[in-house]
Protein backbone atom coordinates (compact mmCIF):
# COMPACT_ATOMS: atom_id res chain seq x y z
CA UNK A 1 0.00 0.00 0.00
CA UNK A 2 1.29 3.43 -0.97
CA UNK A 3 -0.32 6.60 0.40
CA UNK A 4 -0.21 9.65 -1.85
CA UNK A 5 -0.18 13.23 -0.63
CA UNK A 6 -1.60 16.39 -2.19
CA UNK A 7 -1.58 20.11 -1.40
CA UNK A 8 -4.78 21.33 0.26
CA UNK A 9 -6.32 24.20 -1.69
CA UNK A 10 -3.24 26.32 -2.20
CA UNK A 11 -2.50 26.44 1.55
CA UNK A 12 0.81 24.61 1.18
CA UNK A 13 -0.47 22.01 3.66
CA UNK A 14 0.22 18.46 2.47
CA UNK A 15 -2.56 15.97 3.19
CA UNK A 16 -3.00 12.28 2.47
CA UNK A 17 -5.27 11.25 -0.39
CA UNK A 18 -7.33 9.37 2.21
CA UNK A 19 -8.78 11.44 5.05
CA UNK A 20 -9.96 9.56 8.13
CA UNK A 21 -13.57 10.52 8.84
CA UNK A 22 -14.66 10.03 12.43
CA UNK A 23 -18.46 10.29 12.32
CA UNK A 24 -18.79 6.60 13.24
CA UNK A 25 -16.67 6.96 16.39
CA UNK A 26 -18.85 7.24 19.47
CA UNK A 27 -22.44 6.40 20.33
CA UNK A 28 -23.64 6.91 16.75
CA UNK A 29 -21.40 4.11 15.47
CA UNK A 30 -18.66 2.47 17.52
CA UNK A 31 -19.24 3.22 21.23
CA UNK A 32 -15.95 1.62 22.33
CA UNK A 33 -13.60 4.59 22.78
CA UNK A 34 -10.49 2.45 23.17
CA UNK A 35 -11.27 0.61 19.93
CA UNK A 36 -11.83 3.91 18.11
CA UNK A 37 -8.50 5.21 19.38
CA UNK A 38 -6.77 2.07 18.07
CA UNK A 39 -8.39 2.56 14.65
CA UNK A 40 -7.16 6.15 14.52
CA UNK A 41 -3.66 5.02 15.47
CA UNK A 42 -3.68 2.34 12.77
CA UNK A 43 -4.75 4.90 10.17
CA UNK A 44 -1.89 7.21 11.16
CA UNK A 45 0.57 4.31 11.06
CA UNK A 46 -0.63 3.53 7.51
CA UNK A 47 0.28 7.03 6.31
CA UNK A 48 -2.99 8.92 6.75
CA UNK A 49 -2.15 12.35 8.15
CA UNK A 50 -5.56 14.00 7.65
CA UNK A 51 -8.42 13.57 10.16
CA UNK A 52 -11.89 15.09 9.82
CA UNK A 53 -14.43 15.40 12.61
CA UNK A 54 -17.19 17.79 13.75
CA UNK A 55 -18.44 19.28 16.98
CA UNK A 56 -21.86 17.59 16.67
CA UNK A 57 -20.59 14.03 16.10
CA UNK A 58 -21.30 11.58 18.90
CA UNK A 59 -23.88 11.59 21.65
CA UNK A 60 -24.08 14.03 23.21
CA UNK A 61 -22.45 16.33 20.69
CA UNK A 62 -18.72 16.62 21.23
CA UNK A 63 -18.08 12.96 22.08
CA UNK A 64 -16.21 12.25 18.85
CA UNK A 65 -13.95 15.29 19.20
CA UNK A 66 -13.00 14.01 22.65
CA UNK A 67 -12.11 10.59 21.20
CA UNK A 68 -9.96 12.20 18.51
CA UNK A 69 -8.25 14.38 21.09
CA UNK A 70 -7.29 11.34 23.17
CA UNK A 71 -6.02 9.48 20.09
CA UNK A 72 -3.77 12.37 19.02
CA UNK A 73 -1.92 12.77 22.31
CA UNK A 74 1.77 12.72 21.45
CA UNK A 75 1.06 12.78 17.68
CA UNK A 76 -0.72 16.11 17.19
CA UNK A 77 2.13 17.74 15.28
CA UNK A 78 2.03 15.04 12.60
CA UNK A 79 -1.69 15.41 11.87
CA UNK A 80 -3.71 17.85 9.78
CA UNK A 81 -6.82 18.16 11.92
CA UNK A 82 -10.16 19.35 10.56
CA UNK A 83 -13.44 19.92 12.39
CA UNK A 84 -16.73 21.67 11.69
CA UNK A 85 -19.32 24.01 13.21
CA UNK A 86 -22.97 24.79 12.42
CA UNK A 87 -25.42 22.21 13.81
CA UNK A 88 -27.12 22.66 17.22
CA UNK A 89 -25.08 21.89 20.31
CA UNK A 90 -27.59 21.83 23.15
CA UNK A 91 -30.92 23.50 23.78
CA UNK A 92 -31.76 27.16 23.37
CA UNK A 93 -31.08 29.92 20.83
CA UNK A 94 -27.66 31.00 19.59
CA UNK A 95 -26.15 27.53 19.98
CA UNK A 96 -25.96 26.76 16.26
CA UNK A 97 -25.57 28.39 12.88
CA UNK A 98 -22.85 30.49 11.29
CA UNK A 99 -22.98 33.71 13.32
CA UNK A 100 -19.86 35.37 14.69
CA UNK A 101 -21.26 34.91 18.18
CA UNK A 102 -21.57 31.14 17.83
CA UNK A 103 -18.40 30.50 15.83
CA UNK A 104 -16.20 32.41 18.30
CA UNK A 105 -17.74 30.57 21.25
CA UNK A 106 -17.81 27.11 19.70
CA UNK A 107 -14.25 27.07 18.35
CA UNK A 108 -13.04 27.34 21.95
CA UNK A 109 -15.13 24.32 22.92
CA UNK A 110 -13.76 22.30 19.99
CA UNK A 111 -10.20 23.24 20.94
CA UNK A 112 -10.87 22.08 24.50
CA UNK A 113 -12.44 18.77 23.46
CA UNK A 114 -9.68 18.07 20.94
CA UNK A 115 -6.97 18.91 23.45
CA UNK A 116 -5.14 21.20 21.04
CA UNK A 117 -4.13 24.84 20.67
CA UNK A 118 -5.05 25.09 17.00
CA UNK A 119 -7.26 23.60 14.30
CA UNK A 120 -5.72 23.15 10.86
CA UNK A 121 -9.00 23.35 8.93
CA UNK A 122 -12.17 24.79 10.45
CA UNK A 123 -15.23 24.17 8.29
CA UNK A 124 -18.73 25.63 8.14
CA UNK A 125 -20.81 22.46 8.17
CA UNK A 126 -23.77 23.82 6.17
CA UNK A 127 -25.00 27.16 4.79
CA UNK A 128 -27.01 29.40 7.13
CA UNK A 129 -29.60 31.62 5.39
CA UNK A 130 -30.06 33.64 8.60
CA UNK A 131 -26.46 34.87 8.61
CA UNK A 132 -24.72 37.12 6.09
CA UNK A 133 -21.75 35.32 4.59
CA UNK A 134 -19.65 38.42 5.36
CA UNK A 135 -20.37 37.92 9.07
CA UNK A 136 -19.15 34.33 8.88
CA UNK A 137 -16.03 35.09 6.83
CA UNK A 138 -15.14 37.99 9.14
CA UNK A 139 -15.23 35.75 12.22
CA UNK A 140 -13.18 33.04 10.49
CA UNK A 141 -10.65 35.61 9.30
CA UNK A 142 -10.20 36.89 12.85
CA UNK A 143 -9.73 33.34 14.18
CA UNK A 144 -7.08 32.68 11.54
CA UNK A 145 -5.18 35.85 12.39
CA UNK A 146 -5.42 35.00 16.08
CA UNK A 147 -3.80 31.61 15.41
CA UNK A 148 -6.80 29.57 16.58
CA UNK A 149 -7.22 28.06 13.10
CA UNK A 150 -4.83 27.74 10.18
CA UNK A 151 -7.37 27.76 7.32
CA UNK A 152 -11.11 27.45 6.86
CA UNK A 153 -13.56 25.93 4.43
CA UNK A 154 -17.19 25.05 3.81
CA UNK A 155 -19.14 21.81 3.60
CA UNK A 156 -22.02 20.89 1.30
CA UNK A 157 -22.39 24.41 -0.08
CA UNK A 158 -24.04 24.79 -3.50
CA UNK A 159 -21.86 26.26 -6.23
CA UNK A 160 -23.58 29.63 -6.19
CA UNK A 161 -22.90 30.13 -2.48
CA UNK A 162 -19.26 29.07 -2.88
CA UNK A 163 -18.83 31.69 -5.58
CA UNK A 164 -20.71 34.34 -3.59
CA UNK A 165 -18.44 33.76 -0.60
CA UNK A 166 -15.38 34.13 -2.80
CA UNK A 167 -16.51 37.51 -4.15
CA UNK A 168 -17.56 38.81 -0.73
CA UNK A 169 -14.13 37.93 0.67
CA UNK A 170 -12.45 39.66 -2.26
CA UNK A 171 -14.55 42.85 -1.93
CA UNK A 172 -14.23 43.08 1.85
CA UNK A 173 -10.56 42.17 2.18
CA UNK A 174 -11.34 38.99 4.12
CA UNK A 175 -9.71 35.58 3.95
CA UNK A 176 -11.63 33.08 1.81
CA UNK A 177 -12.82 29.53 1.94
CA UNK A 178 -9.91 27.29 1.01
CA UNK A 179 -11.84 24.03 0.81
CA UNK A 180 -15.25 22.53 0.16
CA UNK A 181 -16.48 19.21 1.57
CA UNK A 182 -19.29 17.79 -0.62
CA UNK A 183 -20.91 14.34 -0.82
CA UNK A 184 -19.60 12.41 -3.83
CA UNK A 185 -19.85 8.80 -4.90
CA UNK A 186 -20.55 6.46 -7.78
CA UNK A 187 -24.27 6.85 -7.04
CA UNK A 188 -24.24 10.59 -6.32
CA UNK A 189 -22.38 12.49 -9.03
CA UNK A 190 -24.37 15.71 -8.99
CA UNK A 191 -21.46 17.88 -7.86
CA UNK A 192 -19.68 17.19 -11.15
CA UNK A 193 -21.98 19.71 -12.87
CA UNK A 194 -21.09 22.89 -10.96
CA UNK A 195 -19.52 22.40 -7.51
CA UNK A 196 -16.34 20.65 -8.64
CA UNK A 197 -15.72 22.95 -11.65
CA UNK A 198 -16.28 26.00 -9.40
CA UNK A 199 -13.80 24.72 -6.83
CA UNK A 200 -11.25 24.12 -9.60
CA UNK A 201 -11.64 27.64 -10.96
CA UNK A 202 -11.25 29.15 -7.49
CA UNK A 203 -8.26 26.97 -6.56
CA UNK A 204 -10.08 25.34 -3.65
CA UNK A 205 -9.24 21.98 -2.19
CA UNK A 206 -12.00 19.37 -2.14
CA UNK A 207 -12.42 16.63 0.46
CA UNK A 208 -15.40 14.46 -0.39
CA UNK A 209 -17.60 12.51 2.00
CA UNK A 210 -19.80 9.40 1.76
CA UNK A 211 -17.84 7.59 -0.98
CA UNK A 212 -19.80 4.42 -0.10
CA UNK A 213 -23.10 6.21 -0.76
CA UNK A 214 -24.70 5.72 2.65
CA UNK A 215 -23.48 2.12 2.66
CA UNK A 216 -24.99 1.16 -0.69
CA UNK A 217 -21.48 0.57 -2.05
CA UNK A 218 -20.30 -1.39 0.98
CA UNK A 219 -21.45 -4.63 -0.63
CA UNK A 220 -23.91 -5.38 2.18
CA UNK A 221 -27.06 -4.37 0.30
CA UNK A 222 -27.66 -6.24 -2.93
CA UNK A 223 -30.56 -6.78 -5.31
CA UNK A 224 -32.67 -9.81 -4.47
CA UNK A 225 -31.47 -9.94 -0.86
CA UNK A 226 -33.60 -9.07 2.14
CA UNK A 227 -32.61 -5.83 3.86
CA UNK A 228 -33.00 -5.44 7.62
CA UNK A 229 -34.63 -2.03 7.87
CA UNK A 230 -34.50 -2.00 11.67
CA UNK A 231 -30.72 -1.82 12.12
CA UNK A 232 -27.64 0.08 10.90
CA UNK A 233 -28.00 2.75 8.24
CA UNK A 234 -31.30 1.33 6.90
CA UNK A 235 -32.87 2.14 10.27
CA UNK A 236 -31.88 5.79 9.86
CA UNK A 237 -33.47 6.10 6.42
CA UNK A 238 -35.57 3.03 5.54
CA UNK A 239 -36.99 4.74 2.46
CA UNK A 240 -33.52 4.74 0.89
CA UNK A 241 -32.94 1.00 1.33
CA UNK A 242 -36.36 -0.64 0.95
CA UNK A 243 -36.01 -2.76 -2.23
CA UNK A 244 -39.80 -2.81 -2.58
CA UNK A 245 -39.91 0.91 -3.36
CA UNK A 246 -39.71 1.68 -7.12
CA UNK A 247 -37.52 4.72 -6.41
CA UNK A 248 -34.74 2.41 -5.22
CA UNK A 249 -34.70 0.11 -8.24
CA UNK A 250 -32.13 2.16 -10.19
CA UNK A 251 -29.75 2.18 -7.20
CA UNK A 252 -29.85 -1.57 -6.72
CA UNK A 253 -29.43 -2.16 -10.45
CA UNK A 254 -26.42 0.17 -10.57
CA UNK A 255 -24.86 -1.52 -7.54
CA UNK A 256 -25.05 -4.92 -9.27
CA UNK A 257 -23.37 -3.60 -12.42
CA UNK A 258 -20.70 -1.79 -10.41
CA UNK A 259 -20.01 -4.93 -8.34
CA UNK A 260 -19.51 -6.84 -11.59
CA UNK A 261 -17.09 -4.17 -12.78
CA UNK A 262 -15.15 -4.32 -9.49
CA UNK A 263 -14.84 -8.09 -9.74
CA UNK A 264 -13.46 -7.76 -13.25
CA UNK A 265 -10.87 -5.28 -12.00
CA UNK A 266 -9.85 -7.58 -9.13
CA UNK A 267 -10.94 -5.23 -6.35
CA UNK A 268 -13.80 -4.95 -3.90
CA UNK A 269 -16.83 -2.74 -4.49
CA UNK A 270 -15.82 -0.32 -1.66
CA UNK A 271 -12.30 -0.05 -3.13
CA UNK A 272 -13.75 0.77 -6.54
CA UNK A 273 -16.01 3.37 -4.95
CA UNK A 274 -13.14 5.19 -3.22
CA UNK A 275 -10.86 4.98 -6.28
CA UNK A 276 -13.59 6.56 -8.40
CA UNK A 277 -13.81 9.67 -6.23
CA UNK A 278 -10.02 10.04 -6.26
CA UNK A 279 -9.98 9.94 -10.07
CA UNK A 280 -11.57 13.37 -10.42
CA UNK A 281 -8.87 16.06 -10.82
CA UNK A 282 -10.72 18.47 -8.51
CA UNK A 283 -10.66 16.09 -5.54
CA UNK A 284 -7.82 16.51 -3.04
CA UNK A 285 -8.76 13.87 -0.49
CA UNK A 286 -11.58 11.39 0.04
CA UNK A 287 -12.99 10.89 3.51
CA UNK A 288 -13.27 7.26 4.56
CA UNK A 289 -15.37 6.60 7.64
CA UNK A 290 -14.69 3.12 9.03
CA UNK A 291 -16.51 1.89 12.10
CA UNK A 292 -14.26 -1.12 12.69
CA UNK A 293 -10.61 -2.03 12.20
CA UNK A 294 -11.56 -4.54 9.50
CA UNK A 295 -13.35 -1.84 7.53
CA UNK A 296 -10.29 0.40 7.73
CA UNK A 297 -7.98 -2.41 6.62
CA UNK A 298 -10.17 -3.28 3.66
CA UNK A 299 -10.27 0.31 2.44
CA UNK A 300 -6.53 0.83 2.91
CA UNK A 301 -5.81 -2.19 0.73
CA UNK A 302 -7.23 -0.23 -2.19
CA UNK A 303 -5.17 2.92 -1.63
CA UNK A 304 -2.97 2.20 -4.64
CA UNK A 305 -5.87 1.44 -6.99
CA UNK A 306 -6.00 3.81 -9.99
CA UNK A 307 -8.80 3.52 -12.54
CA UNK A 308 -7.91 3.74 -16.22
CA UNK A 309 -10.03 5.44 -18.89
CA UNK A 310 -11.69 2.18 -19.86
CA UNK A 311 -12.94 1.60 -16.32
CA UNK A 312 -14.09 5.21 -15.96
CA UNK A 313 -15.92 5.03 -19.30
CA UNK A 314 -17.72 1.92 -18.08
CA UNK A 315 -18.74 3.74 -14.90
CA UNK A 316 -20.10 6.61 -16.99
CA UNK A 317 -22.30 4.10 -18.82
CA UNK A 318 -23.67 2.72 -15.56
CA UNK A 319 -24.21 6.07 -13.82
CA UNK A 320 -24.04 9.04 -16.23
CA UNK A 321 -21.88 12.03 -15.18
CA UNK A 322 -23.69 14.55 -12.98
CA UNK A 323 -26.41 12.07 -12.02
CA UNK A 324 -27.69 11.52 -8.48
CA UNK A 325 -29.42 8.17 -7.99
CA UNK A 326 -30.42 9.28 -4.49
CA UNK A 327 -30.40 12.62 -2.60
CA UNK A 328 -26.87 12.51 -1.15
CA UNK A 329 -27.38 15.01 1.66
CA UNK A 330 -30.19 14.08 4.00
CA UNK A 331 -29.19 16.62 6.66
CA UNK A 332 -29.87 19.89 4.84
CA UNK A 333 -32.33 21.14 2.26
CA UNK A 334 -32.04 24.58 0.63
CA UNK A 335 -34.60 26.92 2.24
CA UNK A 336 -36.03 27.73 -1.18
CA UNK A 337 -37.09 24.07 -1.45
CA UNK A 338 -38.00 23.47 2.18
CA UNK A 339 -40.10 26.58 2.91
CA UNK A 340 -43.24 27.04 0.79
CA UNK A 341 -43.54 30.74 1.69
CA UNK A 342 -40.32 31.42 -0.19
CA UNK A 343 -41.89 30.09 -3.39
CA UNK A 344 -45.37 31.66 -3.14
CA UNK A 345 -46.59 35.18 -3.70
CA UNK A 346 -49.01 36.26 -0.92
CA UNK A 347 -52.69 36.61 -1.76
CA UNK A 348 -53.81 40.19 -2.66
CA UNK A 349 -54.58 42.16 0.46
CA UNK A 350 -52.77 39.75 2.78
CA UNK A 351 -49.56 40.83 4.46
CA UNK A 352 -46.51 38.70 3.75
CA UNK A 353 -45.57 36.44 6.62
Given the residues 18, 57, 122, 166, the one annotated as active site: 57
- Is the CB of residue 134 less than 8 Å from the CB of residue 174? yes
In 250-313, DSSP assigns E strands to 285-288
Q: From residue 50, how far is each of 14, 79, 84, 134, 286 by CA, in Å?
A: 9, 6, 14, 28, 10
How many angstroms separate the CA atoms of 130 and 309, rounded?
Answer: 44
Element (H, E) at 16: strand 14-16
Query: Rounded to 10 degrees, what is the CA torsion of 131, 61, 80, 98?
Result: 0
CA-only gyration radius of the chain, Å: 20
| Pick from 94, 91, 80: nearest CA to 123 | 80
How many angstroms separate the CA atoms of 226 and 157, rounded?
Answer: 35
221 part of the active site: no
DSSP, collapsed to helix, strand or coil, labels residue 169 as helix
Bridge partners for 5 per DSSP: 16
Q: Catalytic residues, which ones?
A: 57
Amino acid sequence: MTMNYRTLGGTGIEVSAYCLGTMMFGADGNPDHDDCIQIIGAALDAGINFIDTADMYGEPGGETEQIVGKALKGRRGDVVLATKVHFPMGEGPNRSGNSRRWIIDEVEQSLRRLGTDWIDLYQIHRPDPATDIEETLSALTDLTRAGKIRAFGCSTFPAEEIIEAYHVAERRGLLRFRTEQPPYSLLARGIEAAVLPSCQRLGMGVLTWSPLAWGFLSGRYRAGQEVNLSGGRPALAPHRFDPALPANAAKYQAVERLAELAAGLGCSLPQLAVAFTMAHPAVTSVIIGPRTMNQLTGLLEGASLALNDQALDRIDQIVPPGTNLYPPDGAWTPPALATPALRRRPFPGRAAA
